[in-house]
């Protein structure tokens, strides 16, 4: 009987540890995703377009790094001007990096 109690305690402790590791891992993942684009410099004015998806991105966007043949919008003096140029050429803003949100 005592061995069964020890086994149950070990099982409960193991499950609690697994649960806590999962919670901590999830919190770390959520924070990294939220902060992914909060550190992007306001000096950054260049925008990157993708012919295939029809979207334009910030250069640091993970999706922009996967573009095989990027279209670079850098003629404008500001990010707002490059956003406007990309829109005029039919591109829509990326929903991950939100290139039109200026800080």
pLDDT at 36 over 60: no
The CA distances from residue 65 to 4, 12, 18, 43, 77, in Å, are: 55, 45, 35, 19, 23
pLDDT higher than 70, residue 38 = no
Query: Quick one: which H or E segment has residue 57?
Result: strand 55-57
Q: Tokens at residue 88, please?
A: 């005029």
The reply to whether 26 and 53 lie within a common domain is no
| Domain that residue 17 falls in | 1-35
> Does 83 reside within a domain?
yes
What confidence score (pLDDT) does residue 51 get?
Answer: 92
Supply the pTM of this predicted model.
0.58
Q: What confidence score (pLDDT) does residue 84 get?
A: 92
Q: What angle do CA 19, 37, 55 make, to 5 degrees?
A: 115
One domain, residues 53 and 84: yes
Q: Is residue 102 part of a domain?
A: no
Per the structure, how many domains does the chain have?
Answer: 2
Percent of the chain past pLDDT 90, that is, above it, reads 43
pLDDT of residue 32: 64
Does residue 29 register a pLDDT over 90?
no
* 41 domain-assigned: no
Residue 3 has, within 13 A of its CA and on its CB side, a CA count of 0
How high is the mean pLDDT of the chain?
A: 84
Tens digit of each residue's pLDDT (9 = 90 or more) over 73-96: 888 888 889 999 999 999 999 999
Within a domain: 64: yes
Is the domain of 27 the same as that of 52? Answer: no
In a domain, 22, yes or no: yes
């Amino acid at each position: 009987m005592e061995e069964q109690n020890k086994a149950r305690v070990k099982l409960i402790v193991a499950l609690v540890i697994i649960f806590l590791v999962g919670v901590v891992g999830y919190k770390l993942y959520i924070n990294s995703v939220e902060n992914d684009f909060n550190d992007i410099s306001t000096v950054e004015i260049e925008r990157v377009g993708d012919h295939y998806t029809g979207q334009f991105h910030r250069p640091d966007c993970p999706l922009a790094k996967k573009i095989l043949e990027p279209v670079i919008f850098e003629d404008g003096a500001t990010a707002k001007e490059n956003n406007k140029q990309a829109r005029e050429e039919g591109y829509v803003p990326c929903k991950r990096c939100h290139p039109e949100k200026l800080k």
